[in-house]
Amino acid sequence: MATRKQMPEVNAGSMADIAFLLLIFFLVTTTIESDVGLSVKLPKDNNTATVLERNVLRVSLNASNEVLVEDSLVPIKDLREIAIAFLDNGGLVGGKGKCEYCQGARDGASSDHPQKAVISISTTRATKYGLFIAVQNELAAAYNVLRNREGLSRYNASYVDLIHLYESTATHMEEKALLKSKIEHLRTLFPKLISETNVN
Amino acid sequence: MAKFAKKKDGDLPAVSTASLPDIVFMLLFFFMTVTTMKDSSIMVENTLPNASETKKLEKKDRIIYIFAGKPTKEYQSVYGTETRIQLNDKFANVNEVGSYILAERAKKPQELQNVLTTALKVDKEANMGLISDIKQELRKVNALKVNYTTFEGDAFNNIQ
């Protein structure tokens, strides 16, 4: 007589409660968003370089949170245009080391070449961080405008689109290598040369 | 001859809840994979500024965070209302930033040590004096890749 020993069934009714508990725990302790921000590269310590005066655009942010470009007060909304005009100036027509792809005013008193043009931001200790970020953002926008223009004329795609494609997970590895070289090239055409200094 | 016992009227069969755990587990795994753990509680006010030309910070394992801002209400009685730096779970002075970066860098695997980014999460009301002190410290320890963490938005909102 084989008596079938039946295993008593485990009551799974509380499984849902346990899972809910875990779910709520993870919902509370985790964050979904990924950070975004403005990336900059600081210069090395004790790095000094001499740059011609015309190749520097001086942007200063004073203690009362005003923006001065070359010692004259400008509204922050104009900063992007000023930066584009400065970077894209391209040196005198027929001048030595002039920039071939620039479409600027070719002013003798402004920058020779985007690869030499430096934007210097100087802040005081009392300047608000928010203003500094706004200025950084406008300057980054100026670089992006110029890189987009070159991207469209050279590769038929703007710099920003190239970056998006590069970061997208749907892009293949071989394509990424090609995109990377395009992005690097656009970056060398308009390298981001921003120096940040602090005056007391 | 009632072969089929008539069901009583209005007696609805109970909905089977046997698959409920499966559904909940599915949700659980979804959230576990798409989210990341909060690793430190923020003790400073941290309303980040807005910016539009931003870059995404992916790969959290390559980032070292530095927070700065006014201490929140509960810490104000002890630490005052001056802008302070927060490293991991405690307030710190500017001169501790360098050693913090070196310590964090040493914790990371060898191959990542050269590609680390320092994310500065700073309140938009903070003063630039503190930021430039931090930057000076970062330059001393050769942590040159910096990201000013912001919210996505119009940068002109920062100045009001």
Residue A29 near chain B (CB below 8 Å): yes
Q: Is A131 part of a structural domain of the chain? A: yes
Per the CB < 8 A criterion, the answer to whether B158 and A134 are in contact is yes
Contact criterion met (CB < 8 Å) for A38 and B140: no
Residue A10 near chain B (CB below 8 Å): no
Q: Is A159 part of a structural domain of the chain? A: yes
Query: Which residues of chain A make contact with B159, given a CB cutoff of 8 A?
Result: 65, 76, 128, 130-131, 134
Contact criterion met (CB < 8 Å) for B56 and A167: yes
Q: Is A30 part of a structural domain of the chain? A: no
> Among residues B147, B46, B63, B51, which one has the least CA distance to residue B105?
B63
Q: What is the pLDDT of residues A77-104, one digit of tens each?
A: 888 999 988 888 877 777 777 778 888 8
DSSP string, chain A: ----PPPPPP--TTHHHHHHHHHHHHHHHEE----EEEEEEPPPTT------GGGEEEEEE-TTS-EEETTEE--GGGHHHHHHHHHT----TT-TT--SS--S---TTS-S-TTT-EEEEEEETTSBHHHHHHHHHHHHHHHHHHHHHHHHHHHSS-HHHHHHHHH-TTS-HHHHHHHHHHHHHHHHHS---EEEEEE-
Residue A49 to chain B, least CA–CA distance (Å): 16
Residue A110 near chain B (CB below 8 Å): no
Compare CB distances from A136 to B55, B148, B156 and report the shortest one's residue. B148
Residue A169 has pLDDT above 80, yes or no: no
Residue A178 has pLDDT above 60, yes or no: yes
Contact criterion met (CB < 8 Å) for A31 and B150: no
Instruction: State the pLDDT at residue A148.
Output: 92
Query: Which residues of chain A make contact with B83, given a CB cutoff of 8 A?
Result: none
> Which tokens is B25 given?
């587990």
Instruction: State the pLDDT at residue A32.
Output: 64
Range of A98's domain? Answer: 53-199
Is the pTM higher than 0.80? no
> Among residues A182, A151, A150, which one has the least CA distance to residue A166?
A182
Instruction: State the pLDDT at residue A3.
Output: 59
Architecture of the domain whose range is B59-154: 2-Layer Sandwich (3.30)
Which of A47, A84, A137, A192 is the best mutation test for B, with the most CBs of B within 10 A? A137
What is the length of chain A? 200
Q: Is A3 part of a structural domain of the chain? A: no
Instruction: State the pLDDT at residue A44.
Output: 78
Q: Is A181 part of a structural domain of the chain? A: yes
Q: What is the pLDDT of residues A32-75, one digit of tens each?
A: 667 888 888 888 777 677 778 888 889 998 888 889 998 889 98
Instruction: State the pLDDT at residue B102.
Output: 92
Contact criterion met (CB < 8 Å) for A38 and B150: yes
Q: Is A151 part of a structural domain of the chain? A: yes
Q: What is the pLDDT of residues A111-149, one digit of tens each?
A: 888 888 889 898 898 888 889 899 999 999 999 999 999
Compare CB distances from B158 to A18, A20, A130 and report the shortest one's residue. A130
Give dist(CA A195, CA A42) in Å, integer.
8
Instruction: State the pLDDT at residue A33.
Output: 64
Q: Which residues of chain B have pLDDT under 70?
A: 1-9, 36-40, 160
Q: What is the mean pLDDT of chain A?
A: 84
Task: Return the higher-pLDDT residue of A199 and B45.
Answer: B45
Residue percentage of chain A with pLDDT more than 70: 94
Compare CB distances from A12 to B21, B129, B131 and report the shortest one's residue. B21
Q: Is A163 part of a structural domain of the chain? A: yes
Q: Is A134 part of a structural domain of the chain? A: yes
Which residue in B has a C-alpha nearest to residue A24's C-alpha? B28
The tally of domains found in chain A comes to 1
**Every domain of chain B and the residues it spans:** 59-154
Contact criterion met (CB < 8 Å) for B53 and A137: yes
